[in-house]
Structure 1
Amino acid sequence: MMNISKHLTINFNTIFNAKVNNFLNKSVWKYLISSALIAFVKPEIFGSTFKTTMGIFAIITLIVIVLIIVSSKILANKTEFDAMIRFTENEIIINHIDPKKDTEYKDWTWIKTIKENHKEFWLRANQWPPLLINLDKKLLTSSEIEFFKMKMNI
């Protein structure tokens, strides 16, 4: 039976990485298409449709990056999460380092999605506010990588 334990701390860097990942996976195309639509209607803003698309997209991206930084800083100041998370075949056990917090037991329905890219796994918890758990593949054994790939397909 597979039993994977990982230490998870939520801080500015982890929140920032999760927000940037979310922006790149969900929003960047929407902003690019919106920029192209604006450029199609008003191409004279930057001289041509292409330049206008790129200019508006750059401005929007700059604003979004600033908002991501500010919101990550605010959320990092509010959030205290430091725990050992154990992934087993049937459940996820969250053992908080803070002795005042109780151990949490979750089944795998708590994980809404598992996404994999070339260097990491992203586990999205089914809760509000959203929780993204990032697992670096360099820190996982080959059997642990196979375990998360198997869980992706369930």
Structure 2
Amino acid sequence: MTTVHNFEAHAIDGRPVSLMEYHDRVLLIVNTASRCGFTPQLAGLEALWQRYRARGLVVVGFPCNQFGGQEPGSEQQIQDFCSTRYGVTFPLMSKIEVNGAHAHPLYKWLCAQAPGLLGSKSIKWNFTKFLVGRDGRPIRRYAPTESPDGLEADIEKALG
């Protein structure tokens, strides 16, 4: 059976990352953008990472420029913006596509496993969030409008 641990990505510095590195961790996977109305959620995501990482939560950001061109920068520009403006220290990956023919395989799988509203298999906008259990299986998908602090009860439950 496929789990999130079967996928690979590239860290924002270009280093290959096997998601097996996060085996036995709870993941919050988010497609991010630096010029979006939801960008201030980066602070809330960082707060979740700081609050729960010792218990096994890993927030993983995947920058994406597919929605309104709201992530046009290079990986270095994205990294600098996120760390300087919002104090982001959680793992950021290289920019990817989350929809369409060139969507990252992880996102194709996540969307199939945890469809959105009315069974939609596509990502509607930046800051769609997926909570993934320690077993590597998606627990829940959250709309971009769902603020990070609204996820705490589900995170607590997933952490056990």
Q: TM-score, normalised by structure 1?
A: 0.25
More RCO (CA 8 Å, sep 6+):
2
Greater helix share, structure number: 1
Q: Which has the higher strand share?
A: 1
Q: Which has the larger radius of gyration?
A: 1
